[in-house]
Structure 1
Amino acid sequence: MPTLPREPRRQPEAAMPHRARRTAESFGRDAQRYDRARPAYPDDLVARIVAGSPGPDVLDVGCGTGIAARQFQAADCSVLGVEPDARMAGLAESRGLRVEVATFEAWEPTGRVFDTVIAAQSWHWVDPAAGSAKAARLLRPNGRLAIFGHVFEPPAEVAEPFAEAYRRVAPESPFAGQPARRPLETYRAGYARIADTVRGTGRFDEPEQWRFDRQRSCTRDQWLDLLATTGGLTSLRPDQSTRILDVVGDAVDALGGRFTMHCTTLATTAVRTDRP
């Protein structure tokens, strides 16, 4: 008797985060806290991107509240943000950034082109193949695409209580199965995959991988503020987030109310070829 073809296996949202729109658009729940808690990017990174770009016109994809955009403005760039969450966009606009509300895939450039396209902690919410191809179309010849983000490595005494509390409080969440601490190599592999999609457009020179390392001291309140703005918590009910943060707060208190962690900023960057 004939057999039915198998349905293609559905990829989990963790493997294709750009499809997880509920999480992607949850950060505006507390835009003020997001803007306050999320750290800026290394000055050396910004300076290197600006120095390697042919001009001052920057498009910030998924600009959020404008944290990276303000750094580029301070470096004498003219920045336009594209942001799907109107709440985040509104705060960015209140601080002097021009923002158009749309997902990057749906956004209409209406003939505009740029010297630099950046995505700060946001490219995983963009369809990777479509995003790379669109960035190539938006860049002037020799323009630069720069995709970057932070990796925080809190000590095990903080990370493990968080993971255990998350599994207990929100076992149904797709984030519940993640390990307490993911190796830096996991993130580096993600940026290597970004380089593959950029390379696959045939419109860029060979992508480069950049890395910036620093130590960051966090108080209890600073760490809880930052954690509360991450996708694993913004997508939960407020009571669930509070229970998890209470556990983490106790863990930081046990360390004397603060800790030092390693922070790595990774980047994939490539220059658009001058070929048409």
Structure 2
Amino acid sequence: MTERSEVVDLFGSTAELYQSVRPGYPPEIAGQLVAFHGDMPTSVVEIGAGTGKGTDVLARIGAPLICLEPDPRMAALLATRFPHVRIHGDTFEQWAPPAGGVDVLACAMAWHWLDPATRNPRARRTLTPGGTLAIFGHRYDYTEPDQRAAIRAALHAIDPTVRERPADWFHQDVVDHGQFLDVRKDVFRRELALDKERYLDLVRTFGPFLTRSPEQQQRALTALGRLVDEFGGTVTLDLRTTLVLGRAGRRTDAR
């Protein structure tokens, strides 16, 4: 799947809600990225920046930052939050990197929207020799096994076709494609307690929810709201954030 126009339409309508309820990323990702890179990068490009959840981290580096965001509604909000960042309204596939490449290519929660057959080699070609690929994203789970089981059963009853990707799947994706050297993975975890309104708003921003019919969406919200009431009005998420870093070798190292 790629960052096509249907993806733009999918998330653009939720831009304000997305910014309000989606959790941010651990700020220490910035320091780990610079340490892995070896020095201060001279250029950073972010794929699918959205409203800037990942940009919050990348801006901490202090290097010139370019954000690729094809949805005009999300890009407008991004520009308001980061007026000094250069924003390109291109998909990663459309964007032409500068001659010689960039030092850091980053992607937060958007790697799965890129074409699986081309995203790794395209990322490799975008980077300078020795440049850094940084992919990070959340996986939403539940601290209470009973809550996890009840929520998954309710959603499966509404749409049995929904499937979860394996945890840290993008780490395996980078390793399997063999385009990058010194690939490493770091995992951060924290608990996130949400009341019913906040939890249902978060669900409203998820791709699997947005791609379902209005009837299925309403059934899901009704079922989940009923469950949260039964849980005592609160859901506690086990928020797992994975950071994957890889180094681009010289051109002869690319496969």
Given the superposition, is the C-alpha separation of residues 84 and 19 from structure 1 closer, same or farther in structure 2, using an over 3 Å criterion? closer
Q: Which residue in 2 is equivalent to 1:177?
A: 161
Q: Which residue in 1 is equivalent to 2:76?
A: 90
Match of 1:30 among 10, 14, 22: 14
Q: Which residue in 1 is equivalent to 2:132?
A: 144
Q: Normalising to structure 2: TM-score of the pair?
A: 0.84
> What amino acid is aligned across from residue 126 of structure 2 in structure 1?
L
CA contact (8 A) 1:161 1:247 kept: no
Shift of 1:274: 4.3
Higher Rg: 1
> What amino acid is aligned across from residue 2 of structure 2 in structure 1?
H
Q: Which residue in 2 is equivalent to 1:236?
A: 212
Given the superposition, is the C-alpha separation of residues 56 and 223 from structure 1 closer, same or farther in structure 2, using an over 3 Å criterion? farther
Q: Which residue in 1 is equivalent to 2:171?
A: 191
> What amino acid is aligned across from residue 44 of structure 2 in structure 1?
V
> What amino acid is aligned across from residue 254 of structure 1 in structure 2?
E
Structure 1 segment 6-85 matched on structure 2, within 5 A: 17-18=1-2, 22-23=6-7, 25-53=9-37, 54=39, 55-85=41-71
Residue aligned with 1:256, SS = coil
Deviations 1:76-106 (A, max 9, x none): 2322111232221221112124221122112
Q: Which residue in 2 is equivalent to 1:7?
A: none
For structure 2, the residue ranges without an aligned partner over 5 or more in a row are none
Match of 1:216 among 162, 177, 192: 192
Deviations 1:10-52 (A, max 9, x none): xxxxxxx438863564111110001111111112222201222
Shift of 1:131: 1.9
Distance in 2, matches of 1:152 and 1:247, equals 18
CA contact (8 A) 2:43 2:104 kept: yes
> What amino acid is aligned across from residue 88 of structure 1 in structure 2?
M
CA-atom RMSD, angstroms?
Answer: 2.6
Aligned residues: 247
Distance in 1, matches of 2:49 and 2:245, equals 17
Deviations 1:226-245 (A, max 9, x none): 11100111123445423311
Distance in 1, matches of 2:81 and 2:169, equals 35
CA contact (8 A) 1:215 1:262 kept: yes
Residue aligned with 1:141, SS = strand
Given the superposition, is the C-alpha separation of residues 45 and 19 from structure 1 closer, same or farther in structure 2, using an over 3 Å criterion? closer
Identity of aligned residues (%): 28
User: Is 1:108 aligned to residue 92 of structure 2?
Assistant: no
Residue aligned with 2:198, SS = helix
Given the superposition, is the C-alpha separation of residues 117 and 267 from structure 1 closer, same or farther in structure 2, using an over 3 Å criterion? same
Deviations 1:192-224 (A, max 9, x none): 123212x1x3xx323222222222222222211
Given the superposition, is the C-alpha separation of residues 59 and 244 from structure 1 closer, same or farther in structure 2, using an over 3 Å criterion? same
Q: Which residue in 2 is equivalent to 1:4?
A: none
> What amino acid is aligned across from residue 64 of structure 1 in structure 2?
G
Distance in 1, matches of 2:106 and 2:146, equals 35
Residue aligned with 1:206, SS = strand
Given the superposition, is the C-alpha separation of residues 50 and 56 from structure 1 closer, same or farther in structure 2, using an over 3 Å criterion? farther
Given the superposition, is the C-alpha separation of residues 59 and 105 from structure 1 closer, same or farther in structure 2, using an over 3 Å criterion? same
Match of 1:124 among 104, 112, 117: 112
Q: Which residue in 1 is equivalent to 2:221?
A: 245
